């Protein structure tokens, strides 16, 4: 009788440990908000960001903002800009402002302005 209970408890504890470890790597709330906003982000890319020591909220929130504004920006562009020392949120804000003002500003040009040390949103205004 005691062995049967132990045979049930050990797998349940192992499953709980695996779930807790998985949830420590995946910002589940951020993934749900991205999916509900219509942004396609896989859980594996969020885990990859975590392994590369990139804060996923610094990428996903500007990505949601950009895609809601109709901009064609992807997570890889934003992540590479962040890893090179750029301010992703400022670049996305500048791209949105340029798009609304009918200015031709590419992501690469906005990122270059930002990496040069200028405030790209002010440059657009």
Inter-helix orientation angle 43-51/2-25, to 10°:
80
Q: State the pLDDT at residue 21.
A: 84
Can you give the pTM of this predicted structure? 0.79
Q: Give 93-121 pLDDT, tens digit per residue.
A: 999 999 998 888 899 999 999 999 888 87
Residues of the chain falling short of pLDDT 50 = none
Show the tokens assigned to 106: 């590419």
Yes or no: say if 73 and 88 are a contact pair by the CB < 8 Å rule: no
Rounded to whole angstroms, the Cα distance separating 75 from 39 reads 10
Fill in the DSSP letter of residue 101: T
Closest CA to 108 of 97, 100, 120, 49: 120
């Amino acid at each position: 009788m005691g062995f049967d209970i132990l045979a049930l408890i050990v797998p349940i504890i192992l499953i709980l440990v695996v779930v807790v470890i998985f949830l420590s790597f995946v910002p589940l709330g951020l993934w749900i908000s991205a999916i509900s906003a219509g942004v396609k982000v896989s859980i594996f890319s969020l885990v990859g960001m975590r392994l590369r020591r990139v804060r996923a909220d610094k990428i996903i929130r500007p990505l949601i903002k950009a895609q809601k504004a109709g901009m064609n920006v992807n997570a890889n562009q934003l992540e590479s800009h962040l890893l090179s020392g750029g301010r992703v949120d400022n670049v996305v804000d500048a791209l949105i402002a340029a798009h609304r003002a009918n200015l031709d500003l590419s992501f690469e040009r906005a990122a270059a302005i930002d990496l040069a040390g200028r405030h790209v949103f002010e440059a657009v205004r």
